Amino acid sequence: MSDEGSESSSERGRGAAAAVPAPRAAKAKSKSKSSGRSRKKAGAAEPIRHRPNTDTLNPRARMAETVVAAAPTESAPARETRPAVRTTILPKQQGSIAGAGASTEQPRYDEIRLLGEGASGDVVLTRDCDIDRMVALKRLRAANSKELTARFAREIQIIGRLEHPHITPVHDVGVDAAGRYFFVMKYVDGETLESVIDKLMDGDPAYHARYTFEYRTQIFLKILDAIDFAHARGVIHRDIKPANVMIGPFGEVVVMDWGVARQVADADPDEPSTTRVDAAQPSTVTREDALVGTPAYMSPEQARGENATLDVRSDVYSLCAMFYELLTLRYYLADKVDPDASLVAVVMAVLLHEPVTADQVSNPYQGTVPRELSFFLMRGLQKSRDDRFANVREMIAELKNNLDGKICVYCTSTALKRGVMEYAHLLDRHRKIGVVVAVSVAVFALLGIVLGIRLLV
């Protein structure tokens, strides 16, 4: 569910989240449905057929019979042709297959309610009347520039190429009766990761019981799988943040909002040519001026506006900034700046300040972040991209090893945890050997205590 129009969700929380989630600082405004859609006829008058006297014409003359259309005059100008309303094509079902009748023509997409809106378009919860399912319809405003229209088309094509379980699929594309481009995508009935973090911050006991550190890591691994898939196809997201990840009621994880994504190798001719920066725009909202993305979660190179040279390591930084927040329940630079502060303040913090290590952040509703995860985050949040993980696949490998007990050794505590976990695996595989080792260790420990006491006496 972010991006091309910096869409924001008007509803946050379980069951109200949609295909386009909301940035923290932006609230969706209610928008009335457009009514009275109707087909418009073309402005040209009916063609007039001139039939000469066929008795005097040979067969070749008959074949040359022409059709001449009456051209509109200045007093009666031609009316603008509008696209027809998309209508259903399947027979209408009434109760059962046996009761199916003839096709009743009606609009294919029935708009239910606004889910989010941005500067260039909006997203509407819509019912697909042919397939009989809820979908999310994202559309541009009719008066958008050619540049934004090109970006919109690129977003559709990028999502279309990224067929992955954790990336929302595109179902349809078209132009509505008002001349607005739209595409239809899967509607994710759930809540944003931002909403999950908010509930954990509030100390919701049900959420803390479900979202353990291990489960949060598993969710993050699904996000990494989606981004790794995109990177393998040369696409970087550029707007990774908690508001752009949806969590379904059955554990579904979907990365949304690919509106500012682009091919890494491309020069990106549709990139904004302006160097103007709107300082009044909130730092938690997707930007499309000289800065592309959401400032609060940008990598340092992205915050410097180096759009042409960004690579997968920029997404690595944004992923770790989001994971830091999911684990510690606070913004990763919270001790230096508020994410809703001015653009200048947020960008300067991203460029200059290091976050507090995650295991040093305390929260009254949860324990300390595991030390191996704290080291993992510090590596991904390095200011120099050369010091970060080289790619998302490296991140996946380390986190999976941690979950399997093969903890990456960074310090004494992680070495001890690695030893304990390895011993646990040894017990699982060779129980007798494990018991012998445990007894031997206990005996040597007891002897050490006895010798120590005798030396003290």
239 counts as catalytic = yes
Q: What is the pLDDT of residues 373-419, one digit of tens each?
A: 999 999 999 999 999 999 999 999 999 999 888 888 787 777 777 67
- Distance from C-alpha of 87 to C-alpha of 73, rounded to nearest angstrom: 33
At residue 138 the predicted structure's pLDDT band, cuts being 50, 70 and 90, is very high
* Exposure letters 363-401 (e unless 16+ CB within 10 A, then b): eeebeebbbbbbbbbbbbbbeebeebbebbeebbebbee
Instruction: Determine the average pLDDT of the residues in 142-158.
Output: 85
Model pLDDT, residue 94: 62
Indicate the pLDDT class of residue 87, thresholds 50, 70 and 90. confident
Mean pLDDT of 136-150: 85
Count Cβ atoms within 10 A of the Cβ of residue 311 and give its class: 0-12 exposed, 13-18 middle, 19 or more buried: middle
Q: Which of 3, 122, 128, 239 is catalytic?
A: 239
Instruction: Read off the pLDDT of each residue in 416-430 and give the average, rounded to a whole number.
Output: 67
Do residues 47 and 69 touch, judged by C-beta distance below 8 A? yes
What was the pLDDT predicted at 413? 75
Reported as half-sphere exposure (CB side, CA atoms, 13 A), residue 285 has a value of 24
Confidence of residue 80 (pLDDT cuts 50, 70, 90): low
Does pLDDT of 3 surpass 60? no
What is the arithmetic mean of pLDDT over 128-142? 91
Q: What is the pLDDT of residue 416?
A: 75
User: What pLDDT sits at residue 408?
Assistant: 83
For 58-64, what is the mean pLDDT? 41
Question: At residue 94, what is the residue type?
Answer: Q
Query: What is the rounded CA–CA span in Å between residue 375 and residue 352?
Result: 20
- Only one residue has tokens 């290590």, namely 357
pLDDT of residue 443: 77
Average pLDDT over residues 110-125: 87
pLDDT at 44 over 70: no
Six-digit token string for 224: 């990494």
Please give the model's pTM, rounded to 2 decimal places.
Answer: 0.72
Share of the chain above pLDDT 70, in %: 69
Which pLDDT value is given to residue 451?
A: 74
pLDDT tens string 232-270: 999 999 999 999 999 999 989 999 999 899 988 654 444
Residue 138: phi and psi, rounded to 5, are: -105, 130
> Residue 148: enclosing H or E segment and its boundaries?
helix 146-161
The predicted model gives 298-319 an average pLDDT of 95
What strand order describes the sheet that includes 133-140? Answer: 8-9, 109-117, 121-128, 133-140, 181-186, 170-175
Q: What is the pLDDT at residue 91? A: 82
- Three-class DSSP category at 84: coil
- Higher-pLDDT residue of 235 and 4 is 235
CB 246, CB 256: distance < 8 Å: yes
Return the pLDDT at 287. Answer: 46
Mean pLDDT over the full length of the chain: 78
167-195 residue pLDDT tens: 999 999 999 888 899 999 999 889 999 99
Identify the band that residue 144 occupies on the pLDDT scale cut at 50, 70 and 90.
confident
Confidence band of 303 (pLDDT split at 50, 70, 90): very high
What's the pLDDT band for 345 if we cut at 50, 70, 90?
very high
Give me 6's structure tokens. 């910096």
Question: Residue 86 contacts by C-beta under 8 Å, 6 or more apart in sequence?
Answer: 107, 108, 109, 174, 176
